[in-house]
Structure 1
Amino acid sequence: MGATGDAEGAAAGCRARAALLGAYELGRTLGEGNFGKVKQARHRATGEHFAVKILDRGRVLSLPGADDQVRREIATLTMLAHPNVVRLHEVAASKTKIYMVLEFVNGGELFDRIAIKRKLSEREGRRLFQQLIDGVSYCHEKGVYHRDLKPENVLIDRKGKIKISDFGLSALPQHLGNDGLLHTTCGSPNYIAPEVLQNRGYDGSLSDIWSCGVILYIMLVGHLPFDDRNMVVLYQKIFKGDTQIPEWLSPGAQNLLKRILEPNPMKRINMAEIKLHEWFQKDYIPVAPYDDDDEDVRLGAILPIKEQISEAHGDKSIHQMNAFQLIGMASSLDLSGLFEEEGVSQRKIRFTSAHPPKDLFDKIEVSATQSGFHVQRAHSKLKITGNCNGPNNPTPFLVCAEVFELGPSLHVVELRKSHGDTAVYRQLYDRISSDLGIDKIFGMGSLFGDNLPSFDSRAATPLVAL
């Protein structure tokens, strides 16, 4: 029976591997590590580029703790969906290999950028640091502590956007001790927080903040704040916070570095205080996480396998809505409000329009941009992001706009708030509805008033395609 089970598992692994590799065209090698290679790949159907990490299972199993490190990285990345964190798209495995399909970041490491420029201007350093803090604070909100933050583990794409990577040493809530602290000493010597070295337990958030401070120092000054060939001397410098912060830096940068590189974690600045710091606040636009409705990670043979559903051909800019989905909009049938603190009508607004989908997207983009928000098109929706509470209380703001087709000349537009203040959300959709010439916008479930829509199967042109 055991042999049969092993054979079935191996066969499942081979099928998962074949399905994954059949979907991608592997290209040049991007890098090599202890466990295998990272190759560039192109998705055959969409043409999108990815990075495929191919790990040798034998090597992973031969090194103590390496198997746990790989599993931990996969488990962590499946939890995270943020523009400043490298995204995991698929995982599959065969008997000898593990395949991780990751977001392809084409700009190299932050380390390389600093090495080329020697040091960055305060403006560029601040912009990158803001993204780093946005990504790290998001991880902390998810209960993830990186524990190995350094320029080599921070990637930058060609647009200058930071992507945090390498979560092999990360900690999750289940790794906390009974005292609510972490106890494993790990990280890179020059970036490790002093409390981690003391073996008394440490707060993962504050230790990550220390590492972010070391990265900020390197970006602005051009060399490590704590460095020595003798490890004992290096750790003594870290314990004391023994470093020189140049006076030629702006007063704000000096102050923030001093408050982050505070050796006493109880006196160290926290994430919320960093985001409110005057130097950090300059030109700061908070970045919202990806929408919760974005595609889930597909896991192969090493985790429960999900069937891959092939996309139908046709216009991908809009979704066709059938009668059952339309009826489900009615307030009498919508149960989501029972499980959420915020009322459904405060999060979702729908209205009908005869405008073509492209015109709707264009007009919504113009309205949102003129209201001071940033807009990006992703798949079949618009994502509207920005800062909704002002400089003294920065809060990420994310609204998704999606169009559904009811018929050849009738569409439903949905504005869904994922993050941010409800009052700002209402101001935004008031502006959008005015620009679109909509007299009245209805809340979720009120699209058709108190009555459910009726359907006449005898009609020559049905209102809704069943």
Structure 2
Amino acid sequence: MVSRGGARGLLGAYELGRTLGEGNFGKVKQARHRGSGAQFAVKILDRARVESQRVDDQIRREIATLKLLAHPNVVRLHEIAASKTKIYMVLELVNGGELFDRIASKGKLPEQEARRLFQQLIDGVSYCHEKGVYHRDLKPENVLVDRKGNIKISDFGLSALPQHLGNDGLLHTTCGSPNYIAPEVLQNRGYDGSLSDIWSCGVILYIMLVGYLPFDDRNIVVLYQKIFKGDTQIPEWLSPGVQNLLRRILEPNPMKRITMAEIKAHEWFLEDYVPALPYDNDDEDSELYIAHHFKEKISEAPEDKTTHQINAFQLIGMASSLDLSGFFEEEDVSLRKIRFTSTHPPEDLFDKIENSASEMGFHVHRGHSKLKLTRNCNGSVNQKNPVSFLVWTEVFELSPSLYVVELTKSHGDPALYRQLCERICSDLGVLKMDQIFGTRPIADDLASLDKRSATPLVAL
């Protein structure tokens, strides 16, 4: 956004400064409001890249979520705008780093400090729940800390709004980060977004106090089995009050798990508790709030003079699924590997996947523990031509009635891989692919499965 003359770029009332971060879909810049001098962070996303990766629906969900929220413990969206080439999000600048970094630097936090941060975390999360927003990916990396040591919840890319509830009033998208995911989320039977967020808050509290994860294993199957059982040790050197709270939060049966109201009434939680109040304009109509901020037009740098403004509500519109965090990662792993859970018997899973792939023109080879899907994308039947597309499929058992299906692209066209996954998921009756790719399904951010200890199901 730097002009050809060397001056800093302008974005309406903002002067853009140094780049804070950069990734595949755009960059984050520090910005100063020219009127007040206040500092902000501006996410500048490249529309062409966003649309080519089919994540524009994800942007809508992030904005639709953030525009509802105005709380001291939640990162705030101040303004949004879009041009023909860019999407801009003016966000609160939080420059104290991630909670993860604070824990990593100290090993663990004193109980008094952990309690204060946990109180702020619960204040922010419970406020979101009151607004009908369920985060679904709470972890120390998604909790920022400002220079004053106050928590700011961020990265609402996996969040759910009231319109995402099923007819049973429950959520059904399996998503989140493996070590923080609640057991009921893995079971494909629907779950209460509030109770699953509470579980994740409990994992964060455990890490702050103890310095390591309550549920961890290199093998994804073993990890999920530990989560299902609530298999963790709560150190006896912790105070009795927090031991009690942790046990009640990390209760694998959601019907027996402590509620948000009960957490706020817990004796340990109430010590030195000062509730955080929402901002004054919290009750403003959100659309009027956004419209107010679109009074100023955006001034692009000279090289982008032809920018054409679009209506903000074209951008917000319908919310479906979103993960902004992926815009700033080195690589979007969901483009080469996905995992999802299924209750179909293993034999049915292999048969259905083979039928789906065969009908799309893939050659299916059944091995001892996996399916190999190949296709010559050059359209030639010459056997001397190398196979130009290869996907491996494996199924792992979590419990007698729950399985993990893993699709891994070894090489080939990402668009064709996506079509294959869409077809398989459609035939299996699981999530829509925009949800799977947009929500980073369970365990996508694990580097790999430990094949030595995990027992895949035999495909033959």
Do both share a fold (TM > 0.5)? yes
The answer to whether 1:86 aligns with 2:75 is: yes
1:207 aligns with: 196
Amino acid in the other structure paired with 1:143: G
Provide the rounded CA distance (Å) in 1 between the counterparts of 2:262 and 2:30.
Answer: 39
Q: Deviations over 1:165-189 (max 9, x none)?
A: 1111100000000000000011111
Provide the rounded CA distance (Å) in 2 between the counterparts of 1:261 and 1:124.
Answer: 21
Larger radius of gyration: 1
The answer to whether 1:268 aligns with 2:268 is: no
Q: What is the Cα deviation at residue 23 of structure 1? A: 1.6
Provide the rounded CA distance (Å) in 1 between the counterparts of 2:52 and 2:172.
Answer: 25
1:40 to 27, 30, 34: 30
Q: Deviations over 1:131-152 (max 9, x none)?
A: 0000000000000000010111
Amino acid in the other structure paired with 1:150: K
Is the contact between residue 182 and residue 201 of structure 1 (CA under 8 Å) also seen in structure 2?
Answer: yes
Number of positions where the alignment pairs a residue of Structure 1 with one of Structure 2: 290
1:61 to 16, 30, 51: 51
1:248 aligns with: 237
The answer to whether 1:28 aligns with 2:18 is: yes
> Unaligned 5+ residue runs, structure 2?
1-7, 298-460
1:285-434 pair list within 5 angstroms: 285-292=274-281, 306-308=294-296
Change in CA separation of 1:294 and 1:197 when aligned onto 2, cut-off 3 Å: closer
Tell me: higher relative CO, structure 1 or 2? Use CA pairs within 8 A at least 6 residues apart.
2
The answer to whether 1:186 aligns with 2:169 is: no
Q: Deviations over 1:331-360 (max 9, x none)?
A: xxxxxxxxxxxxxxxxxxxxxxxxxxxxxx
Is the contact between residue 90 and residue 298 of structure 1 (CA under 8 Å) also seen in structure 2?
Answer: no
1:158 aligns with: 147
Change in CA separation of 1:47 and 1:231 when aligned onto 2, cut-off 3 Å: same
1:227 aligns with: 216
Quote the sequence identity (%): 84
The answer to whether 1:100 aligns with 2:89 is: yes
Provide the rounded CA distance (Å) in 1 between the counterparts of 2:53 and 2:187.
Answer: 26
Matched residue SS, 1:292: helix
Q: What is the Cα deviation at residue 292 of structure 1? A: 2.8
4+ residue runs over 6 A deviation: 293-301
2:113 aligns with: 124
Provide the rounded CA distance (Å) in 1 between the counterparts of 2:227 and 2:57.
Answer: 29
Provide the rounded CA distance (Å) in 1 between the counterparts of 2:170 and 2:286.
Answer: 30
Provide the rounded CA distance (Å) in 1 between the counterparts of 2:108 and 2:48.
Answer: 41
Is the contact between residue 9 and residue 16 of structure 2 (CA under 8 Å) also seen in structure 1?
Answer: no
Q: Deviations over 1:277-301 (max 9, x none)?
A: 1110100011111113788879999
Is the contact between residue 148 and residue 169 of structure 1 (CA under 8 Å) also seen in structure 2?
Answer: yes
Provide the rounded CA distance (Å) in 2 between the counterparts of 1:295 and 1:172.
Answer: 18
Change in CA separation of 1:270 and 1:41 when aligned onto 2, cut-off 3 Å: same
Is the contact between residue 69 and residue 282 of structure 2 (CA under 8 Å) also seen in structure 1?
Answer: no
Q: TM-score, normalised by structure 2?
A: 0.60
Q: What is the Cα deviation at residue 31 of structure 1? A: 1.9
1:72 aligns with: 61
CA-based RMSD: 2.4
The answer to whether 1:279 aligns with 2:268 is: yes
> Unaligned 5+ residue runs, structure 1?
1-17, 310-466
Q: What is the Cα deviation at residue 62 of structure 1? A: 2.4
Provide the rounded CA distance (Å) in 2 between the counterparts of 1:94 and 1:198.
Answer: 42
Provide the rounded CA distance (Å) in 1 between the counterparts of 2:198 and 2:137.
Answer: 11
Change in CA separation of 1:137 and 1:294 when aligned onto 2, cut-off 3 Å: closer
